Amino acid sequence: MKLRNLIVVLSLLGLAACSPEADTPRQAARPPAAHTPATAPPGSAPLDRGLEFGRVVTGGRLYRENCAVCHGREAEGDPNWQRRNAQGRFPPPPLNGTAHTWHHSRDVLKGVIRNGTLAQGGGMPAWKQKLSDEEIDAIIDWIISRWPEEIYRTWREANPPK
């Protein structure tokens, strides 16, 4: 197996890219080239994401009020998100599909947002005292609405609607 393919496979498994403990810089996640044609046949219509417009608007407002200060107004993240800072923590990653948010199920994302990562030595505050589950779900809907089509398709294959 070529090294590049191995990296793609590892990051798909979440082993290389997702561990906050990893000492190596994080891999920027790209949709694996070999995967894209199978998930997005040429000319196919965009998938219906099952998102409700009003909830996405609410989620976007809550995102700007609570999250944009760290993750960026358009969820673009910190440019140095793959490198530990002087305090040994990873800066806020992009949530817009260019990092590895899409490697995680909705339940996992919800858990990170509810509980944060301060207890594990990370830099993400917990939100469960400040935001309700419905508000967090609306923010996740807004985040998902930002992902490019091929990222959403790949995520949906791993996380089919319940």
Footprint on this chain of ligand HEC (rule: CB under 6 A): 20, 66-67, 69-71, 90-93, 95, 99-101, 104, 109, 112-113, 117, 122-125, 127, 139
Q: Residue 149 is encoded by which pair of tokens?
A: 């089509």
Nearer to ligand HEC, 37 or 64 (CB): 64
Nearer to ligand HEC, 16 or 109 (CB): 109
Find the length of the chain: 162
- Separation of alpha carbons 134 and 22, rounded Å: 32
**Min. distance of Cβ 109 from ligand HEC in angstroms?**
5
Which residue has the closest beta carbon to ligand HEC? 122
Single out the residue of 35, 23, 27, 33 nearest to residue 11, CA to CA: 27
Nearer to ligand HEC, 39 or 101 (CB): 101
**Min. distance of Cβ 48 from ligand HEC in angstroms?**
23
Single out the residue of 145, 162, 158 nearest to residue 39, CA to CA: 158
**φ, ψ (nearest 5 deg) of residue 64:** -65, -35
**Min. distance of Cβ 92 from ligand HEC in angstroms?**
4
Alpha-carbon radius of gyration of the chain: 16
**Min. distance of Cβ 34 from ligand HEC in angstroms?**
22
